[in-house]
Amino acid sequence: MAKKQSLTMRSLHYYWLATRRHLGLFVALVASTIGFCGFLTYGNPYVMSLIVDRISAAPVAADEVFTVFGPYIAALIAINFAGQACSKLQDYTLWKLQIAVNYDLATTAFDCLCNQSLSFHSNRFGGTLVSQTSKFMAGYTQLLQTMNFPFLPILCSITFTCIILLPVVPVYAGVLMAMLAVYAMVSYLMYKRILHLNEKAASAQNQLSGELSDAVTNILAVKTYGREDYERGLFDTANREVVARDSKRMRASLARGVTTAAITVIIMSVVTVFISGGNAWFGITPGTVILMFTYTNTVTNQFNFINTGLQRINQAFGDASGMTAVLDEPRLVADKPGARPLSVELGDIDFKGINFWYTDGDVKTQVFNDFNLSIPAGQRVGLVGMSGAGKTTLTKLLLRLADIQEGEILVDGQNVADVTQTSLRRQIAYVPQEALLFHRSIAENIAYGRPDATMDEIREAARAANALEFIEALPQGFDTITGERGIKLSGGQRQRIAIARAMLADCPILVLDEATSALDSESEAAVQEALSNLMEGRTCIVVAHRLSTVASLDRIVVLSHGRIAEDGPHAELVAKGGDYARLWNRQTGAYGEE
């Protein structure tokens, strides 16, 4: 329970950080709500009680109505004008505050997700993170509206009732406040008992969103393998869990509602006795009797909304809990305080004494142990080896998509851990094995690394990547929307757009991770020529399984189990007859001659 409460307090912390940026709006909202409640709910009955007492005191002649009741009429008009003004101000500040704070909360969540490490995202459903962000924002809106009604009006009701009735009927006011305190205490205790149910319900909803996202994202695999029924089974299981947890929350809330309703009946019974005998026992005037009933009825009616309000608060904190936990997670890869921008003039790369391992739960998987590799500026280096040898991991460490545990990675003598991640990655053009495209136009995707590029420059990059012909054949050309993750294009087309993006970025360091793996032989030959031109004068790291893509490079490094097994030019390694030669022979068919 302590952990649950801590998560609730952390959610409040993030909500308050965003709210205090707009403190003026928040104060205006509270003040207008108090004014609205005070003027219309308590001011009007109070003046009416004075009118009733005046009528009860002595008859008023027809020609004296405005003389006698003029001040009361003026007071009622002023009270209603002020109350309506507060009501409109309340509407404005509530909407304005919700809009402003939700903008800040969305920005906070987006920044957090974008700045988290790659391992963070690899262990989570993308759809779940999107759902948690939406619920985090919705939670604030619900919390603010619940504060605005019913809880702030309830506090106002208690305060105004005490101020007005306590001097007139102190015994009644005391008894009423005592019963209301019992009501509030019972509601709160029952609220604490079901707090965890809302977080479990929110967790089930997030899991449901994740299952839906996973199936939709991989819909091609679902359909081509005929697994619609299987995915529906997974979704149905998650959906039934949502129903079960929501039902449990509903039953607990209804039980709380029945209990508090019984207390309300007791309160109104006591009120009826006091009102009936008020004049006989305490000499209470008719106007005061009206005040007692009106104010008590108002308070108890508003207290009826405590259950609904607490349920909404429960749901709000439950919805916020997922993103709150994400916001509280430490960044596995973070800039050091005072990190400076990376400045690259040559492009030397040095891996010195690298120790790196993955941790999955309690299992530690060592990838590199005292690994050393030096790449002089302008050298084109191929990384080859069996799957799991550490080729792609090495490029991710260079890009600081994960942090090493020991050692250092230097670019032009600057430790990448001491520079800003943004400046590091803007100096490295990276083309991954699976092309990463946005649901935007082809032109926007190509210019992603250099958004200020002209259309002529975008076109030239596409031509150099052997992509211009198929792009211009599309009905909308460069304005064609690629679809989510580039789904509207073939694998080879997506890869060529990614290569065009790297060409346009024109970075001093180039990293190609199986960049030509999705190309047919004819396209590969054309792109290889373009890549050769792109590599000229740049430090290049090329990860490849197809050795034909690295045979012409200056140097080839063969990795095996996170260590360098061989290192040298293609011809030298083939002549040596080691691991590289065996791989080369298998791929070229030369092994049959051995």
Domain ranges in the chain?
2-328, 375-403+413-427+509-594, 435-506
CATH number corresponding to 375-403+413-427+509-594: 3.40.50.300
pLDDT-flagged residues of the chain (< 70): 1-5, 195, 199, 361, 517-524, 526-527, 530, 589-594
Distances from the Cα of 413 to the Cα of 354, 368, 402, angstroms: 16, 21, 20
DSSP state at residue 371:
E
Q: Is there a contact between 142 and 14 (Cβ–Cβ < 8 Å)?
A: no
Q: What is the pLDDT of residues 307-326, one digit of tens each?
A: 778 778 878 888 898 899 99
**Domain 435-506 is in which class?**
alpha beta
CATH number corresponding to 2-328: 1.20.1560.10
pLDDT of residue 518: 59
Nearest-angstrom CA–CA distance, 153 and 147: 9
Nearest-angstrom CA–CA distance, 40 and 46: 10
- Terminal alpha carbon distance of the chain: 69
Q: Which helix (H) or strand (E) segment is 250 a member of?
A: helix 228-282
What is residue 563's three-state secondary structure?
Answer: strand
Nearest-angstrom CA–CA distance, 390 and 246: 46
pLDDT of residue 524: 67
pLDDT of residue 314: 79
Furthest-apart CA atoms within the chain: distance in Å: 127
Q: Is there a contact between 513 and 382 (Cβ–Cβ < 8 Å)?
A: no
Please, is 551 exposed, middle or buried when counting C-beta atoms within 10 Å of its C-beta (0-12, 13-18, 19+)?
middle
CATH topology match: 2-328 vs 375-403+413-427+509-594: no
Residue 437: phi, psi to the nearest 5? Answer: -115, 150
pTM for the model: 0.75
For the CA atoms of 514, 515, 520, 522, what is the dihedral angle to 10 degrees?
-120
Residue 78 bridge partners (DSSP): none
Average pLDDT, the chain: 87
